[in-house]
Amino acid sequence: MHRTLSAPGKLFLSGEYAVLWGGTSRIAAVGPRTTAAVRRRDDREVHLLLEEGRLVGHATPRGVAWGSEVTPPFAFAARTLDSVLRAHGRETLGFSVALAPSPAGPGGRKLGMGGSARATVLTAEAGRFVLDARFDALKLALVAHALGQGMKGSGGDVAAIAAGGIVRYRRYDVSALADASVTTRFDAALDAAPPVDLYRLSAPRVQLAYAFAGESASTRALIGRVEERLDEAARARFVARSDALGDALEEGLLRGDFTRVREASRGLRVLLAELGPLETDGLSGILGIAEAYGCTGKISGAGGGDGCILFCPDTERQAALLEGLSARGFLALPLELEPGLCGETLADPMLERWLQAG
């Protein structure tokens, strides 16, 4: 049994912090895509293959008994395979999973497009397929990714990567599933869990782009610092304002009303600035350039680095903005919405070589 999969990256359009506290987020699934391949084995070994090397373990009903330390590059995918085998809950033959590296920026820095979430989504579906299991791979990926982040994230990146397009998403409570994931009833808990609050929007009628600031940020650390500063009442006020601006942004995107998009984007930028110094000099520079070219934008994600989502009224100004950003040394690219997780008819030659090597 053999299968090749692919999945997009993600970029937050609105609601980065509000979604953590009960608010609504809008998240786009974008390219470039990343591939994975899975193949059943004739023994009980589990092989996880990355650009960094190979991690080998033994399949058991309680997860993978890894034969060596799980180092950081393998952490999210390895945890997901543990969850897959616990959800399966019985003895099985092993399998090999190969994951292509996520696209990187200058110096190999992560682009802020959800590399760990993408690895989790791809690994969850690869494991479900090769075991011929019936569990909901999205719910399992949400649990595995949350556990990998110390229960800090919202799961929005996971949901958008799985679903594709632009999604409107509210945080999925995985606490009960996280508790069940270490028991023999994980499969039943996944079946009984409510559906994910996820809605796919129509395509926007303005142009989207992304610019990378040249530095990466730790989402988990940033979230921790913000949550230390805001009490429950302050979070509720922030959510109300974020949701109102997010509604306005969505309306502008769907109607092609760039004035509405610009006003909402600027409002979200001001709102996020109230949480602390999330905009670096690089991010502020990108946004200033965007405004000078008749476009607009905001940070995408937790801030502190990574990049900005940019909105342009037409393709001409989008092209001019991208040229201007590139001339100033920023990695900038136009964005097209991508479908979510899907199977591929053609194999990835690199991943096939990895699988054939062992």
Per-residue pLDDT, averaged over 81-102, amounts to 95
- Tell me which residue of 237, 10, 282, 265 sits closest to 121, measured CA to CA: 10
Same domain as 154, residue 10? yes
| Structure confidence at residue 281 (pLDDT) | 87
pLDDT: which is higher, 235 or 215: 235
- Residue 236 and residue 298 in one domain: yes
| Residues 189/176, Cβ–Cβ less than 8 Å | yes
| pLDDT of amino acid 217 | 59
* Amino acid identity at 41: R
Structure tokens at 108: 């190999």
Q: What is the DSSP letter of 247?
A: H
- d(Cα 240, Cα 168) in Å, to the nearest integer? 16
Assess whether 133 and 158 both reside in one domain: yes
Q: What is the pLDDT, as a whole number, of residue 276?
A: 80
Q: Write down the residue that tokens 């142009």 correspond to.
A: 207
**Apex 79 CA angle, 26 and 112, nearest 5:** 35
227 pLDDT more than 90: no
Cα(281)–Cα(300) distance, integer angstroms = 15
Give residue 226's pLDDT: 75
pLDDT tens, residue by residue, 131-186: 999 999 999 999 999 999 888 889 999 999 999 999 999 999 999 999 999 888 99
Q: Does one domain contain both 192 and 75?
A: yes
Same domain for 29 and 14: yes
Contacts of 25 (CB under 8 A, 6+ apart): 12, 13, 14, 15, 16, 18, 19, 154, 156, 168, 169, 170, 246
Q: What is the C-alpha to C-alpha distance for residues 313 and 297, in angstroms, rounded to an integer?
A: 12
Bridge partners (DSSP) of residue 198 are 169
Q: In sequence order, which residues have a C-beta less than 8 Å from that of residue 185 and are 6 or more positions away?
A: none
pLDDT exceeds cutoff 90 at 103 = no
* Same domain (yes/no): 101, 246: no
| Cα 137 to Cα 343: distance, rounded to the nearest angstrom | 14
pLDDT for the residue numbered 213: 83
* DSSP string for 116-148: HHHHHHHHHHHHHHHTT--S-HHHHHHHHHHHH
Residues 195 and 250 occupy one common structural domain: no
- 304 pLDDT exceeds 60? no
Residues 6+ apart with CB under 8 A from 108: none
Nearest to 37 by CA among 45, 46, 29, 49: 49
Shared domain check, 217 and 182: no
Query: Within this chain, do residues 52 and 192 fall inside the same structural domain, yes or no?
Result: yes
Provide the pLDDT for residue 252: 98
Name which of 24-33, 62-71, 110-119, 338-347 the model is least confident about.
110-119
99 & 29 share domain: yes
Domain containing residue 316: CATH number = 3.30.70.890
Q: What is the DSSP string of 158-198?
A: HHHHHHBSEEEEE----HHHHHHTTSTTHHHHHHHSPPP-E
Same domain, 196 and 64: yes
Domain that holds residue 107: 2-201+339-356
Examine the pLDDT at 105 and tell me if it is beyond 70: no
Using 50, 70 and 90 to split pLDDT, how confident is the model at 219? low
Considering the domain architecture, whether residues 31 and 178 belong to the same structural domain is answered as: yes
Report the distance separating Cα 21 and Cα 43, nearest Å.
45
CATH code of residue 12:
3.30.230.10
Q: Is the pLDDT of residue 298 over 60?
A: yes
Neighbours of 294 (CB within 10 A): 16
pTM as predicted? 0.93
Number of independent structural domains in the chain: 2
The chain-wide mean pLDDT, for the chain, equals 92
Residue 255 has a CB neighbour count (10 Å cut-off) of: 13
Residue 1: the pLDDT is 72
Q: Locate all alpha helices (DSSP H) within 18-134, ordered by sequence.
A: 75-88, 115-130
Rounded average pLDDT over 248-277:
95
